[in-house]
């Protein structure tokens, strides 16, 4: 049995070990030491504020200060600044006021080039850049690219501190990263976390394979740098995923290679060129993969080949599954746009596809991505249902009206779904107003051809149906009954 003296000695030993552990620096305990990184790089991170003149509505009434509020007080001055003088004043109310937003950025050259997000400076009439030493400059907008959310500014200053650019490709999931920015206007706030994933493709951003992290990013951090532990910029903090508007553990940064390609193009020519294939694509689901007899869902399924596009010239077809592009695997549909976007324009690319269950390679000469206006499609009108002739899988069908065909830009073929009863078609997601264009690899040219295709489908096997609807073409998996 231990004596009281032995218990006391054991307690003192545990206490001594605990105190020694507390005295050991974090880095020695296996945790990163961010202090040198922050001290070496903070000076090149800037705060960005913008202002935009907002017109007041016509006939805006003159300001009436609340009773008892002194006219010469600070609240009276503030209200007058935004809404004009009190009623009865000979001075007319101003027609506008400044709307201000905040963001972050960083200096990439000693002669004043600054990188930030497009959404930070979008619509701004004036852009102000404030350095860590409180020097403030009015910035010139060199160029901005909404597709990647990157913007380049220039301030008239020399011998500025700059940041070292790194390599985001060498980042590993689980690696420590750090952000410096101005969340909610709190200049040079530092937050840290790890790389959660790489190559994330978000629905709103088709041309950026984002770096996902759990670094705390909030409004005002946008445009600030993401550092690796060597103090190199590996990304630009751009977006968060949130249900509340604040940080919830999911933040996304633009890889520095993607950003700098945009920056260099904006500096050189004022706009950004991207490669273009000219296909509308969708995800290969497990059910669609079964219809292709694929072992697993992978690739990008072609739902439409755009007219006069590189894809059309190369012979790509609706229903092809793009598996790789220039040797780079396409694991899912969202991975294809950024790969194609970085491809050299006017140069041939090798596209590996799956067609009718057989792999093959097609050579495509990459074109230049048109503008958003050039890509805009007409909005189709809602079809009027009519009495169907027959009802395969619960679909009522009829010939496509000429007006709808013109709106949908359908050259030929297709049958209109006017009603969907309970059954395989309804379970597949086919709905009233869809135009059936293809079943498997067979084009539906008419109601008669539709019946021939349906009659030849093997029972108990999954089929795929291409429909055209308001939002565009879409492949759907259809279970053919036994």
370 neighbors 271 (Cβ within 8 angstroms) = no
Structure tokens at 189: 């706030």
Query: Per DSSP, what are the bridge partners of residue 54?
Result: 97
Instruction: Dump strand ranges (E) for 421-471.
Output: 435-439, 442-443, 462-469
Buried b or exposed e, range 221-242, using 16+ CB within 10 angstroms: bbbbbbbbeebbbbbbbbbbee
H or E segment and range at residue 40: helix 35-41
Query: Per DSSP, what are the bridge partners of residue 464?
Result: 477
Residue 367 has a CB neighbour count (10 Å cut-off) of: 20
H or E segment and range at residue 165: strand 164-165
Report the catalytic residues.
119, 149, 222
377 neighbors 406 (Cβ within 8 angstroms) = no
436 neighbors 401 (Cβ within 8 angstroms) = no
Structure tokens at 477: 């998996």
Token pair 């324009």 is at which residue? 345
Residue 243 has a CB neighbour count (10 Å cut-off) of: 6
3-state helix vs strand vs coil in the chain, percent to 5: 25, 35, 40
201 class by beta-carbon count within 10 Å (0-12 exposed, 13-18 middle, 19+ buried): middle
């Amino acid at each position: 049995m231990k004596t009281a003296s032995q218990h006391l000695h054991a307690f003192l030993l545990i206490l001594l070990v605990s105190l020694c552990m507390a005295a050991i620096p974090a880095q020695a305990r296996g945790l990163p030491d961010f202090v040198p990184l922050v001290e070496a790089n903070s000076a090149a991170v800037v705060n960005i504020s913008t202002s935009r003149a907002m017109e007041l509505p016509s006939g805006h009434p003159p300001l009436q200060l609340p009773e008892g509020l002194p006219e010469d007080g600070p609240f009276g001055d503030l209200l007058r600044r935004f809404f004009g003088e009190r009623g009865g004043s000979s001075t007319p109310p101003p027609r506008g006021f400044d709307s201000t937003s905040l963001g972050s950025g960083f200096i990439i050259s000693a002669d004043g080039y600054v990188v930030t997000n497009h959404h930070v400076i979008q619509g701004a009439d004036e852009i102000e850049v404030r350095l860590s030493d409180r020097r403030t400059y009015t910035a010139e907008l060199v160029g901005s690219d909404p597709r990647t959310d990157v913007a380049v500014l220039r301030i008239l200053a020399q011998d500025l501190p700059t940041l070292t650019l790194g390599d985001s490709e060498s980042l590993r999931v689980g690696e420590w990263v750090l952000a410096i920015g101005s969340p909610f206007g709190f200049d040079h706030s530092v937050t840290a976390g790890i790389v959660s994933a790489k190559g994330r493709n978000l629905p709103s951003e088709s041309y950026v394979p984002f770096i996902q992290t759990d670094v705390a990013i909030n409004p005002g951090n946008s445009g600030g740098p993401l550092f690796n532990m060597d103090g190199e910029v590996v990304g630009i903090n751009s977006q968060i995923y949130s249900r509340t508007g604040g940080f919830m553990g999911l933040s996304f940064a633009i890889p520095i290679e993607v950003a700098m390609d945009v920056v260099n193009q904006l500096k050189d020519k004022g706009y950004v060129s991207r490669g273009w294939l000219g296909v509308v694509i969708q995800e290969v689901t497990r059910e669609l993969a079964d219809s292709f007899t694929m072992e697993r869902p992978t690739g990008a399924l072609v739902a439409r080949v755009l007219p006069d596009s590189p894809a059309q010239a190369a012979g790509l077809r609706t229903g092809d599954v793009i598996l790789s592009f220039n040797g780079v695997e396409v694991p899912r549909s969202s991975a294809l746009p950024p790969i194609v976007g970085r491809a050299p324009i006017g140069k041939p690319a090798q596209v590996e596809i799956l067609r009718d269950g057989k792999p093959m390679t097609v050579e495509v000469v990459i074109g230049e991505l048109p503008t958003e206006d050039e890509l805009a499609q007409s909005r189709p009108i809602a079809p009027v249902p009519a009495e169907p002739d027959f009802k395969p899988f619960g679909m009522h069908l009829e010939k496509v009206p000429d007006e709808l065909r013109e709106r949908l830009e359908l050259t030929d073929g297709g049958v209109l779904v006017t009603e969907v009863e309970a059954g395989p078609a309804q379970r597949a997601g086919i709905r009233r107003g869809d135009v059936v264009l293809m079943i498997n690899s067979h084009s539906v040219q008419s109601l008669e051809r539709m019946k021939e295709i349906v009659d030849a489908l093997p029972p108990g096997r999954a089929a795929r149906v291409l429909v055209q609807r308001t939002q565009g073409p879409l492949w759907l998996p259809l279970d053919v009954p036994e």
